[in-house]
Homo-oligomer: A and B are copies of this chain.
């Protein structure tokens, strides 16, 4: 096989992006602002300062500056695992016998196992720069917690992670990686916070949720001297940092004169998708570029496809600002058999606005089909993918098979956000035929959505 396009397109270090791209600056309809949960007025920098680092507050609120310089210290850290390869999926194309050209941006080649490290190192850097002692956060499946513990270790910051209890128990290895990097990991809900105690009193047998762990982490950050809270997805600042994924992808494609037809990413809170599509969406808005952009979410947690676009609480304890987003209601918890991440009840405000504006599509897929796609991909492309990433694989394969029917040579790019090395319990369930697809009923969703706060 001789090809002009290599299997893996690596940029040189000198070609790595030196700035993050702030898509909001180019959006016609800006994402709705965060609101103070008491006054329902837009949150000010002063109000956000007790929760978030100063520089990150600036980034969070800025919807006009198109580019932010990436500090040199962060660029140096990026060089340990970036640029990440843009891989031409020759073997998958051959297996599918499709005329489509498939590329994936692989963000899993680092110990955190995912793209989360891109924002973790940025947030840790700004915390350190502000002279803080440490940060708090929540983690579900553990990718974000792992990434943050690596970043904090690098900058010698303390790191307190509240890990959703069910994951804490089922994923001891992630916990152990975090310990290797010196983080403290507490199963949530816990008795270390007031909100944790309250939730435990109300729901004694609860296995926890992201919304609940967020509440605990925020409480600790706002009541401990020298600490702030950091978040791995959903927020504008996180999408800003993750734009490095899309910028590298675009640079690699441009280098070989490739224009994608379809761009696909999995979507939980939206950090990977928002980062991957940023420069492409920017072109679409500014120049009317003709990209089809598809968000893929689990059928068991379908915020885009079955949620409501409205203001909602970001956390179960209702201590965070309100965000306007596609949401299933802050009390929504995916069925226990839901294996991977992508379990947040809402979706990034930026992506929600773009979706509402008709600039992107969304589709939901059941998890057994996701694992079938994952196994098929692993066998030909060699990489064992994370369940989250496999949502994008599933739809990329579907689109490639459509091309096979029509004979179209479309170029498909998808985000392979991470590896599944810590998800083998889920793979085992799948192999043993013990995995099923729970899809919430209309009644369940309606009940959850009915509890949204009333915001004028």
> A residues bordering B, Cβ < 8 Å?
1, 6-8, 10, 12-13, 72, 76-77, 79-81, 90-91, 109-111, 113, 150, 153-154, 172-173, 176-177, 179-182, 375, 378-384, 419, 421-422, 424, 427-428, 431
Find A180's partner among B12, B79, B91, B375 (CB 8 Å cutoff): B375
A384 to B173, alpha carbons, bound, how many Å? 12
B180 contacts A431, CB within 8 Å? Answer: yes
Question: A15 to chain B: closest CB distance in Å?
Answer: 11
25 contacts between A and B (CB under 8 A): A1-B72, A1-B76, A6-B12, A8-B13, A77-B382, A80-B91, A81-B382, A111-B382, A111-B419, A111-B421, A113-B421, A150-B382, A153-B379, A172-B428, A176-B431, A177-B424, A177-B427, A179-B427, A179-B428, A179-B431, A180-B375, A180-B379, A180-B384, A180-B427, A180-B431
A91 proximity list for chain B (CB < 8 A): 80, 154
**Stoichiometry (number of copies):** 2
Question: A228 to chain B: closest CB distance in Å?
Answer: 22
Question: A188 to chain B: closest CB distance in Å?
Answer: 21
A80 to B179, alpha carbons, bound, how many Å? 32
Point out which of A79, A180, A421 has the most chain B C-beta atoms below 10 A from its C-beta. Answer: A180
| Extra inter-chain contacts (7) besides given A8-B79, A172-B428, CB under 8 Å | A6-B13, A6-B79, A111-B383, A176-B428, A180-B375, A181-B378, A182-B379
Q: Are A427 and B176 also in contact (CB < 8 A) when A80-B91, A182-B379 are?
A: yes
A13 to B10, alpha carbons, bound, how many Å? 10
A382 proximity list for chain B (CB < 8 A): 77, 80-81, 110-111, 150, 154
A180 proximity list for chain B (CB < 8 A): 375, 378-379, 384, 427, 431
A235 to B2, alpha carbons, bound, how many Å? 32
A9 nearest CB neighbor, chain B only: B13
Q: Are A7 and B80 also in contact (CB < 8 A) when A111-B419, A424-B176 are?
A: yes
A7 proximity list for chain B (CB < 8 A): 13, 79-80
Question: A259 to chain B: closest CB distance in Å?
Answer: 23
A173 to B428, alpha carbons, bound, how many Å? 8
A380 to B327, alpha carbons, bound, how many Å? 39
Point out which of A80, A182, A419 has the most chain B C-beta atoms below 10 A from its C-beta. Answer: A80
B422 contacts A111, CB within 8 Å? Answer: no
A154 proximity list for chain B (CB < 8 A): 91, 379-380, 382
Find A378's partner among B8, B72, B76, B111 (CB 8 Å cutoff): B111
Point out which of A90, A113, A383, A431 has the most chain B C-beta atoms below 10 A from its C-beta. Answer: A383
Question: A359 to chain B: closest CB distance in Å?
Answer: 34
A111 proximity list for chain B (CB < 8 A): 378, 382-384, 419, 421
A378 to B150, alpha carbons, bound, how many Å? 9
A77 nearest CB neighbor, chain B only: B382
A424 proximity list for chain B (CB < 8 A): 172-173, 176-177
A427 to B180, alpha carbons, bound, how many Å? 8
A10 to B6, alpha carbons, bound, how many Å? 13
Question: A6 to chain B: closest CB distance in Å?
Answer: 5
Question: A7 to chain B: closest CB distance in Å?
Answer: 4
Question: A116 to chain B: closest CB distance in Å?
Answer: 13
A77 proximity list for chain B (CB < 8 A): 382
Question: A377 to chain B: closest CB distance in Å?
Answer: 10
A149 nearest CB neighbor, chain B only: B379
Question: A61 to chain B: closest CB distance in Å?
Answer: 31
A378 to B153, alpha carbons, bound, how many Å? 10
A113 proximity list for chain B (CB < 8 A): 421
Question: A181 to chain B: closest CB distance in Å?
Answer: 6
- Would you list the 3 A-B pairs with minimal beta carbon distance, nearest first? A7-B79, A173-B424, A176-B424
A428 nearest CB neighbor, chain B only: B176
